[in-house]
Amino acid sequence: MTWFFIALAGTFFYACTNHLDKIILEKYFKGGIGALFLFSALFSVLALPFLFLVNRSVFNVSLSNMLVLVIVALFHLLVLWFYLIALKHDEASVVIVFYQLVPVFAYVFGYLILGETLNRLQFIAMALIIFGATIISFEMDLDNRFKLRKKVILPMLGAAFCWAAGDTIFKMVALQENVVRSLFWENLTLFVVGIIIFIFIRSYRENFLLAMKSNSKIILSFNFLNEALYILGNIIFAFAYILAPVSLVLLTDSFQPVFVLLIGIFLTIFLPKISSEKIQARHLWPKIIAICITGIGTYILFMK
């Protein structure tokens, strides 16, 4: 069971990055998600020398494989874009639950594109995940009426769709997975897209430069910590994949919403000036129920 605790540590680091994203977006990039997306894109260049040193064969790939890695990276860029849109309008503990829909989309793509089969238990599991996501799709307003989270649902459906699509494309061409190589091309693509955005989208460029001029040290510190935790999470998961089957390791993803919720509660109680979430009973219970239901669905889906 060593692999489980190793993978769980990676999941915890991912959960930390979700809250750091929310803090950075709310406090230092109030001009919009474009400035934060641009910063993440340009900042990704710092990872390239490190990834190259770890695996010097990053350029020794065929043109077809290189194009596939770039396409997968572009899908991951869309994941980031949709995720930031949703995070701008709601709490991290709400947004992250919708990522449990990724395996649902992945199984649908696998069925339609790769000819994979689905059994009755998998259909039940996907129904549970969808039901859990439906619960969190509603919130209680000040008048105790249910309100649909329209600004979260659509972008997070887009994020889950793009994530699953990218993974399906990767699998469809039967590439041998190489974590370092994939990370290199993902970060390189992100950097190139960031340069293009910086040059051609004036509003994003101006908001980015204004934020850097006002809080450069704080922004650099937060983003460095954020990227470091994300990369560390990737490395931990890569090591866990060596110790156990991929399907078992992926089960730990269902704990990410739990960690995000617990971190949110901790910050709200002890560090409310940094970040806070709605932890009243009427807001907390729907999150807990949704997390439990989607977690059970994910467990059934991967424990086939």
Position 157 confidence tier, pLDDT thresholds 50, 70, 90: very high
> Do the Cβ atoms of 251 and 299 come closer than 8 Å?
yes
Could you please report the per-residue DSSP string of 126-154? HHHHHHHHHHHTEEE-TTS-EEE-HHHHH
Instruction: State pLDDT tens for residues 111-130.
Output: 787 677 778 888 888 899 99
Q: Alpha-carbon distance 258 to 298, whole Å?
A: 13
Instruction: State pLDDT tens for residues 23-68.
Output: 988 887 776 788 888 888 888 888 889 888 888 888 887 787 788 8
Q: Pick from 18, 5, 8, 10: which is nearest to 260 by CA?
A: 18
157 CB contacts (<8 Å, ≥6 apart)? 98, 101
Angle between helix axes 33-43 and 2-27 (nearest 10 degrees) is 130
Sole residue written with tokens 């004036």:
202
Instruction: State pLDDT tens for residues 287-301.
Output: 999 999 998 998 887
Report the mean per-residue pLDDT for the chain.
84
pTM assigned to the model: 0.86
Query: What's the rounded mean pLDDT across residues 250-254?
Result: 78
Of residues 263 and 111, more confidently modeled: 263
Token pair for 290: 């949704």
Q: Alpha-carbon distance 55 to 35, whole Å?
A: 31
